[in-house]
């Protein structure tokens, strides 16, 4: 089976059908694709179907491509069955390096040679996961989404030392055909782009709660009603460009150069004491105000759709490409 053009893929395999894998399955179903899913976990099929049934009304709000249907999902009982039926594979197994290495070695052995194998890993470089590959390591690549994959329109693509550039380019084009904004990375970096940025904020948040400097609610208010509103429009760097006034980023960098050495950040992770864990958990429960996880997911998804629709309408009207 020859590798199809990125915009002509119609059948995709999804390995691991938890939060991320299930989210990918939903996204690909929305794109009108046939999804062949495999997960050896207990009651995996039932859990996936429950997730799909709960989220499908949200998927319909986003708009369905021609042919999109839950009926296009097929759950199989073996890797061997899955790999022979698909044109590309999205792997979403737990973040355990040894297990991923073993799985990739098996996929390398049994998967037809033209099938690209993409990992959703959130932190492992492909070079570390691909050490045991003997057949075709050049077709293994990272495609890291943001959660939930069926909604967030961003994906990071990064190859390993033995990944071919053709596969990196093919994967980026495939995701773009699947309506994703793609960051195609030139070098491997643990955590990639988004998670490294999130981790810096996360560690600062943990320190502020640990030191009783503010509450969990205060931290989230600062993001929701402060920088988060700006980030949805322009991102961090372009926002700071505006912070320099008419002088832009050049003025801002010159103006704040000395303060960059100020001890504002504490990037080494704090010890997760029981007290800190309790404070973080209680702070989140306070914010949830009795809402269940499913209710919070619905709120998040509905609001994200409205924000994205508003931004798309404005940018289309103004001819802005960003």
pLDDT value at residue 230: 86
Indicate the helix (H) or strand (E) that contains 13: strand 11-15
- What are the start and end residues of each CATH 1.10.1040.10 domain in the chain? 195-290
**What's the predicted TM-score (pTM) here?**
0.87
Task: Please state, in angstroms and rounded to a whole number, the distance separating the CA atoms of residues 215 and 287.
Answer: 11
- Segment 142-161 mean pLDDT: 95
pLDDT for the residue 74: 97
Residue that wins the pLDDT comparison between 316 and 251: 316
CATH 1.10.1040.10 at 195-290, yes or no: yes
For domain 6-184, is the CATH number 3.40.50.720?
yes
Strand partners, 73: 35
Mean pLDDT of the region 98-106: 97
According to DSSP, the β-strands at 73-75 and 88-91 are unpaired
Top mean pLDDT of 233-237, 258-262, 266-270, 303-307 is at 303-307
DSSP characters over 98-125: HHHHHHHHHHHHHS-TT-EEEE--SS--
Tell me where in the chain the CATH 3.40.50.720 domain(s) lie: 6-184
What is the distance between the alpha carbons of residues 197 and 50, in angstroms, rounded to a whole number?
33
pLDDT reported for residue 6: 96
Read off the pLDDT of residues 209-251 as tens digits, 9 standing for 90 and up. Answer: 999 999 999 999 999 999 898 888 878 888 888 887 888 888 7
d(CA 64, CA 73): 15
Q: Is residue 102 a contact partner of residue 110, using CB atoms and an 8 Å limit?
A: no
Element (H, E) at 181: strand 181-184
Cα 170 from chain centre? 18
User: If pLDDT is split at 50, 70 and 90, which confidence band does 263 have?
Assistant: low
């Amino acid at each position: 089976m020859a590798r199809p053009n990125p915009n002509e893929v119609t059948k995709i395999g999804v390995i691991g059908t938890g939060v991320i894998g299930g989210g990918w399955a939903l996204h690909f179903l929305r794109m009108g694709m046939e999804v062949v899913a495999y997960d050896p976990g207990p009651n995996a099929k039932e859990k996936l179907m429950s997730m799909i049934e709960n989220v499908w009304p949200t998927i319909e709000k986003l708009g369905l491509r021609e042919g999109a249907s839950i009926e296009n999902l097929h759950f199989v009982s073996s890797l061997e069955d899955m790999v022979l039926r698909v044109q590309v594979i999205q792997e979403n197994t737990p973040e355990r390096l040894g297990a991923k290495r073993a799985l990739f070695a098996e996929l390398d052995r049994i998967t037809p040679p033209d099938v690209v194998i993409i990992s959703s890993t959130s932190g492992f470089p492909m070079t570390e996961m691909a050490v045991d590959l003997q057949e075709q390591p050049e077709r293994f690549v990272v495609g890291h989404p943001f959660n939930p994959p069926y909604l967030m329109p961003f994906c990071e693509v990064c190859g390993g030392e033995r990944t071919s550039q053709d596969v990196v380019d093919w994967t980026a084009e495939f995701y773009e055909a699947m309506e994703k904004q793609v960051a195609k990375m030139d070098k491997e970096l643990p955590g990639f782009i988004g998670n490294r940025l999130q981790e810096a904020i996360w560690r600062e948040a943990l320190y502020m709660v640990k030191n009783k400097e503010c509450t969990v609610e205060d931290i989230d208010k600062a993001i929701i009603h402060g920088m988060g509103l700006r980030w949805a429009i322009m991102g961090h760097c372009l926002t700071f460009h505006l912070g320099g006034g008419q002088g832009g980023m050049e003025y801002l960098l010159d103006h704040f150069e000395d303060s960059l050495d100020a001890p504002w950040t504490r990037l080494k992770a704090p010890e997760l004491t029981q007290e800190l864990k309790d404070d973080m958990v209680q702070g989140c429960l306070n914010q949830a105000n009795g809402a269940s996880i499913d209710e919070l997911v619905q709120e998040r998804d509905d609001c994200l759709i409205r924000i994205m629709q508003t931004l798309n309408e404005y940018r289309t009207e103004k001819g802005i490409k960003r």
